[in-house]
Amino acid sequence: MEFLNSPSKAHDKCTEVRKNRMTIGYVPTMGALHDGHLSLVERSVDENDFTVVSIFVNPLQFNRPEDLETYPVSINSDKKLLEAAGCDMAYSGEFADFFPGLAMEDAIKTELPCKAILGLEAAHRPGHLEGVQAIVQKLFEVVGDCRAYFGEKDFQQTLVVKELAARIGGVDVIVCPTIREKDGLAMSSRNTRLNTGQRDTATTLYRALFAANQLWTTGVRDAKTLELIMRNEIMKEADLQLEYAAIRDPFNWTAETPTSPVDQAQALIAANLGTVRLIDNCRLGTLTS
């Protein structure tokens, strides 16, 4: 696997790969890789001739400085994991490589915000999705036409990225399932920052999603009722500070909870456990255990 510490060299390489009529699969990451990330890489390797992964901890998407400062970094083990997964090229860069001459406040303001930046994450993590949109636009410019793989784990992010890709053209966004630990906890780079007790408590998010899923299978379609059962599960754990437990129509994103019965429902939760922010979601009716 080739590792390029330069977005412009990565761009040249991708251009050359396409000239050779090879398809490119691309997985953007912030590193500290786990099996969730690797599932995206493996899918890309299966579906494309050449797989590219980026590792860049994007400061624009962190609204809390301490979260950025403590974000896990493991570049050497990341490279080994990517090589073993069949990745062909990984690249990284500095903030100035992506946003030459721009201060953070200006870099985040460059584009029209996508419509999916509305409610939930926007209300609780102001600027986060704008920061995602800004970097993903740059990352897509580096790689060019490709299939780009994203995890459903960050559901609202997938909506933003799809909207952005439709605007830019040439990038086909593929959303892949959330990979979980055996007890249901969604894998996340931030999980390494949980202590043993917190690690147990963290599974409450999955239990809350599961409770809503069960209610859904009994025929309940009222979003507020489905939200309440999730909220009640989270409230059982005093250490969890709930930000939201919400139901949204996945195909018609709205800032507020739908008031009429929902035909399809995405259940989404965000909660803080100590200094670690946890998020998870699922399509109701899809959880089996």
Catalytically active residues, by annotation: 37
- Distance (Å, whole) CA 268 – CA 253: 12
Q: Could you tell me which stretch among 9-17, 45-53, 103-111, 178-186 binds ligand AMP (CB under 6 A)?
A: 178-186
Closer CB to ligand AMP, residue 157 or residue 201?
Answer: 157
Chosen residue from 54, 92, 188, 281 binding ligand AMP by CB under 6 A: 188
Give yes or no for residue 266 binding ligand AMP (CB under 6 A). Answer: no
- Distance (Å, whole) CA 54 – CA 31: 8
Give yes or no for residue 187 binding ligand AMP (CB under 6 A). Answer: yes
Strand partners, 172: 147
Q: Is 65 helix (H, G, I), strand (E, B) or coil?
A: helix
Q: Which residue is nearest to ligand AMP (CB)?
A: 151
Q: Could you tell me which stretch among 34-42, 82-90, 106-114, 247-255 binds ligand AMP (CB under 6 A)?
A: 34-42
**Minimum distance, C-beta of residue 30 to ligand AMP, in the bound complex (Å):** 4
Chosen residue from 42, 88, 130, 154 binding ligand AMP by CB under 6 A: 154
Strand partners, 106: none
Binding-site string for ligand AMP from residue 122 to residue 151, where x marks contact by CB under 6 A and - marks none: ----------------------------xx
Instruction: Give exposure, 252-278, as e/b (b: 16+ Cβ within 10 Å).
Output: ebeeebbeeebeebbbbbbbebeebbb
**Residues contacting residue 39 through CB under 8 Å, at least 6 positions apart:** 151, 176, 177, 179
Q: How many residues bind ligand AMP (CB under 6 A)?
A: 17
Closest CA to 88 of 143, 36, 135: 143
**Minimum distance, C-beta of residue 241 to ligand AMP, in the bound complex (Å):** 21
Q: Are strands 24-29 and 146-151 parallel, antiparallel or unpaired?
A: parallel
In angstroms, the Cα distances linking 155 to 164, 214, 239 are 14, 20, 24
* Alpha-carbon dihedral sign for residues 222, 283, 199, 207: positive
Chosen residue from 79, 147, 153, 248 binding ligand AMP by CB under 6 A: 153
> 128-143 and 155-168 helices cross at what angle (nearest 10)?
50
**Minimum distance, C-beta of residue 259 to ligand AMP, in the bound complex (Å):** 29
In angstroms, the Cα distances linking 264 to 120, 145, 228, 249, 282 are 18, 31, 17, 6, 11
Which 82-121 residues touch ligand AMP, going by CB under 6 A?
none
Q: Could you tell me which stretch among 171-179, 199-207, 240-248, 250-258 binds ligand AMP (CB under 6 A)?
A: 171-179
Which 37-66 residues touch ligand AMP, going by CB under 6 A?
37, 39-40
Which 11-30 residues touch ligand AMP, going by CB under 6 A?
29-30
**Minimum distance, C-beta of residue 262 to ligand AMP, in the bound complex (Å):** 23
Interface contacts to ligand AMP, rule CB under 6 A? 29-30, 36-37, 39-40, 150-151, 153-154, 176, 178-179, 186-189
